[in-house]
Amino acid sequence: MKTLVAIPALNEEVTIETVISAIPHKLNGTEVKVLVVDDGSTDSTAELARAAGADVISHGCNMGLGTAFRTMLSYARENGFDVMATMDADGQFNPKDLPHLTKPVIDGNVDFVTASRFKDTSLVPNMPEIKKWGNKRVAKLVSNLAKTKIHDATCGFRVYGPRAIERVACFSRFTYTQEVLIDVARKGLRIKEIPTKIRGEREFGKSRIASNLWRYAHLSAEAMYSVAHGHSPWRFYGTPAFTLIGLGIVLDLFTLAWWFFMGRITPFTAFGIGGLFLITFGILLILFASIADISSANRKMLEEITAMETRRIREKNRN
């Protein structure tokens, strides 16, 4: 078996060599290769990463963490890796925790492992209270959308087994952490959240992702909505559509009954107009649900083709 340790990096020349040098050469009996995805660094991150022994893919310009994740995932698929671990380049994650995180996946007990800063209260890192509060709110939302309990939805210290590498999908440009959790959960993959001691704040510089909390919240919500409605289009469009249509019919039937018995629709004219508006809007949502359902079916078909091709490449490399 082969394990890929994949690291997205943007201007991390201060810490990148230290992080790479601390990664074990073997993880629970598997060979390890390190990949750094340089997402448009303007310093010597890429050169230092190569000097430290990592393979480097450079985007040339900043394309976002979500795009960097897709680059890492494509590399793992195209080169037949059985396991992919992801970690940051800023030193917040300790590479010595990799054996502990990868073991359940390599042993075949789970498909996906994510480190958790908040599952064990004794390991909660020192960080601003606003970030702790925000992480709790995001974890609760992700838990509802994923239909499984998640304590930490934003940690990027994760391990993907063969089935997760084959099937996981990410479409956001900005980030991937919440989207991927929802995706793997809704696809029925086995998830394990392992409490891990993690540095709460970067030692050098500012966060590239969460420096603007409002922007982070907006783009994260956008990504979560996208993946959730992709898995359940009728839940997101169909349920409100039929609710609106039903309410509109009730209002219009009331107005019609009033006209039938009283010979006029006043003072309930607004009810009749509002009912027609609700019915029309509900029909539009049904059309959106139908289109989204077709898109979801096409996506599932493409993902199945990708999974089959990934398995073929892996088997070819083993033979």
pLDDT in tens, the chain (319 residues): 899 999 999 999 999 999 999 999 999 999 999 999 999 999 999 999 999 999 999 998 999 999 999 999 999 999 999 999 999 999 999 999 999 999 999 999 999 999 999 999 999 988 888 888 888 988 998 998 888 999 999 999 999 999 999 999 888 888 899 999 999 999 999 999 999 999 877 666 666 565 556 666 666 777 677 777 677 788 888 889 999 999 999 999 999 999 988 888 889 999 999 999 999 999 999 998 898 888 888 888 888 999 999 999 998 887 7
In whole angstroms, what is the distance from residue 81 CA to residue 84 CA? 7
Tokens 């952490």 label which residue?
A: 177
Distance of CA 128 to the CA centre of its chain: 23
Task: Tell which phi-psi region holds residue 230, choosing left (phi > 0), alpha (psi between -120 and 50) or beta.
Answer: alpha
* Whole-prediction pTM: 0.83
Is residue 267 helix, strand or coil?
Answer: coil
Q: What is the DSSP string of 56-121?
A: EEE-SS---HHHHHHHHHHHHHHTT-SEEEE--SSS-S-GGGHHHHHHHHHTTS-SEEEEESSSSG
User: Is cis: bond before 267, omega within 30 of 0?
Assistant: yes
Q: How far lies 154's CA from each of 55, 268, 288, in Å?
A: 26, 50, 30
Mapped onto helix, strand or coil, the DSSP state of residue 30 is strand
- Specify the long-range contacts of residues 131-137, CB closer than 8 Å, at least 24 apart: 131/210, 131/213, 134/213, 134/217
Q: Radius of gyration (Cα) for the chain, nearest Å?
A: 24
Query: SS3 of 36, please?
Result: strand
Taking only the tens place, the pLDDT of each residue in 120-144 is 999 998 888 888 888 898 899 899 8
Q: For the chain, how many residues are written?
A: 319
